[in-house]
Structure 1
Amino acid sequence: MADFMNLIRNENMKMFRRPRLFVMLGIIVGLVIVFSGVWFSVDKGESAMWEVVITETMFLYWIITIFAAIASASTVAEEFSSGTIKMLLIRPWSRSKILLSKYISSLLFALFFAVAFLASLMLVNWILFDLLGNGTVDRLSDVMGVSNIEYLFKYYGLLFLGTMMTVTISFMLSTVFRSSILAIATALFIEIVVNNFMQLLAFVKYKWIDYVLFVHLDLTKYVGGNEYNGMTLGFSLAVLGVYYVLFMVLTWYIFNKRDVAA
């Protein structure tokens, strides 16, 4: 177990020591500061902090998913494109352990950025805005029966589940392609183009569409606890669970069967 934890630590060091980490962090914090600053200048700080945080989460969180997809799509593919995969496989670890350590590191990378984004949102908007703004009414408590912070963390949790699925897809692509550029480009195409297009299919009245992966990646439509187009959160999680198992099995099969001699 200690050896495996060291393996995860080594993978984390690879991911967190790269210059792109600081570039991504700068973009995240910069976007939060700019959006919050513009909001503050428009309404002179009259909005409630929670209202700003929740709204900015809805509009800016996608960048976290994009960064997580880029990182996970390059994890394995970069080892092949740089030739370091041979050195990695001669060490006293099985291929499955190596792959699992990379996958866990990819999830931890996504979690780090999700937490960093939320922390910057809370800090910046706590400085600029009052907790409840001009009023003393917790709007979400009145409308949905939940507090602002409860709504935020439920919404954020559902967002991160979608991010985890995207990381899994990107990680699978990283094992399929030897080129990290090709893996990243495919992951971004799926996330930006295919995912958004497929979301529109949810409004088409065909039963088979209910089983398309991309229709279920956005789980925030269930944040109020209601059905959406006849589907429930449990159904969406079940569909995602089936795809998750398929992707992981395919990822492990390809990586364990791949010839690295060439």
Structure 2
Amino acid sequence: MSKVFACIKNENMKIYRRVGPRIMIGMIIAAVFILALIQNYSPIPPESMWNFVYDNIEIFVSIIIMFAVIIAAGSISGEFSKGTIKLLLVRPINRSKILLSKYVASLIFSFIMLVISVALLLIIGGMFFGFEAPSQANVTTMDGSTVENVMPHFIISIAFVGVDILMMVTIGFMISTIFHNSALAIGITIFLRFAGPNIVLALQQYDWARYILFANLNLRQHLGGASYIEGLTMTFSVITLIVYFFIFIILTWWIFIKRDVAT
């Protein structure tokens, strides 16, 4: 276990000593300020920091996924493209631990970005639109539903956002492991992220559409708004996501373990 933690620490050091991740975090900070400035001068500005968070969290989920997939995809394909994978695999650590460390480090980066984004949305939203206790807040979400008990709803929403990020990073990591191509992994994952819900809407009349990953990925649809497919339940979505998750993980692990690094 100590070797696994050492590998994860090493992968984290690889991520944060590069300029790219620091630029990504800087872009997140700048984006929050710019959105706050724009919305502060809009005809109908957010009523409070909570409205600001709810209005903009989806934007930052997409940004985080894009940045996180870039990191996750590069962690594997970068080793192959540079030829360092051969040196990595001759170390006295088995392939499973190496793969796990890269995957966990990518997830840690993803969730750090999520925490930073949420904290900035709350702080900067409070500075521009006023701080408000959760017990006093009354928020209207993007789907038009009203949230009166904000804090429990907010915590659950962020947890569901975390699931969204987890699944998309896993997809990007899997594609990168299979094809050794970070650009392909990033392109496919970002395409699926934006096109997935539209594909589901186009196929929603078919019974089998409920088994599509993207029909279930946005768990926030079960918090009050209408689900993509009529009759879709939280339990069904969670079970479906768990099944997809293990399929992605097992496929990624099997290919990485069996692959000849000479290829």
**TM-score where L is the length of structure 2:** 0.89
Gaps of 5+ in 2: none
Structure 2: which amino acid aligns with 1:117? S
Give the equivalent residue in structure 1 for 2:246.
245
1:42 to 2:46 alignment: no
The whole-number CA distance in structure 1 between the counterparts of 2:97 and 2:9 is 13
CA gap 1:44/1:211 in 2 versus in 1, 3 angstroms:
closer
1:13 to 2:13 alignment: yes
Aligned match of 2:187 in 185, 188, 196? 185
Give the equivalent residue in structure 2 for 1:213.
213
Preserved CA contact (<8 Å) 1:226 1:232: no
| 1:231-254, Cα deviation, whole Å (9 max, x unpaired) | 111111111111111111110110
Give the equivalent residue in structure 2 for 1:171.
173
3-state DSSP of counterpart to 1:92 = coil
The whole-number CA distance in structure 2 between the counterparts of 1:35 and 1:225 is 25
CA gap 1:38/1:209 in 2 versus in 1, 3 angstroms:
same
Question: Which moves more between the two structures, 61-70 or 168-177?
Answer: 61-70
1:118 to 2:118 alignment: yes
Preserved CA contact (<8 Å) 2:51 2:139: no
Preserved CA contact (<8 Å) 1:201 1:209: no
Preserved CA contact (<8 Å) 1:77 1:183: no
- Aligned length, in residue pairs: 257
Q: Identity rate of aligned residues, in percent? A: 35
CA gap 1:90/1:164 in 2 versus in 1, 3 angstroms:
same
CA drift at 1:108? 0.5
Give the equivalent residue in structure 2 for 1:260.
261
Give the equivalent residue in structure 2 for 1:62.
62
3-state DSSP of counterpart to 1:181 = helix
Give the equivalent residue in structure 2 for 1:52.
52
The whole-number CA distance in structure 1 between the counterparts of 2:258 and 2:231 is 41
The whole-number CA distance in structure 2 between the counterparts of 1:23 and 1:239 is 35
Preserved CA contact (<8 Å) 1:216 1:240: yes
1:138 to 2:137 alignment: yes
Question: Which moves more between the two structures, 114-123 or 64-73?
Answer: 64-73
3-state DSSP of counterpart to 1:61 = helix
| 1:145-170, Cα deviation, whole Å (9 max, x unpaired) | 65223222211111110110011111
3-state DSSP of counterpart to 2:172 = helix
CA gap 1:221/1:261 in 2 versus in 1, 3 angstroms:
same
Name segments (4+ residues, structure 1) moved above 6 Å. Answer: none
| 1:4-52, Cα deviation, whole Å (9 max, x unpaired) | 1111000111112221112211221111111111222236977212111
The whole-number CA distance in structure 2 between the counterparts of 1:118 and 1:46 is 16
Preserved CA contact (<8 Å) 2:49 2:129: yes
RMSD over equivalenced CA pairs, Å: 2.4
Preserved CA contact (<8 Å) 2:48 2:126: no
Q: For 1:187-202, what aligned pairs fall within 5 Å after superposition?
A: 187-193=189-195, 195-201=196-202
Give the equivalent residue in structure 2 for 1:232.
233
The whole-number CA distance in structure 2 between the counterparts of 1:174 and 1:59 is 24
Preserved CA contact (<8 Å) 2:216 2:241: yes
CA gap 1:145/1:44 in 2 versus in 1, 3 angstroms:
closer
CA gap 1:241/1:207 in 2 versus in 1, 3 angstroms:
same
3-state DSSP of counterpart to 2:260 = coil
| 1:50-103, Cα deviation, whole Å (9 max, x unpaired) | 111211113332111111122112221111111010111011100001101111
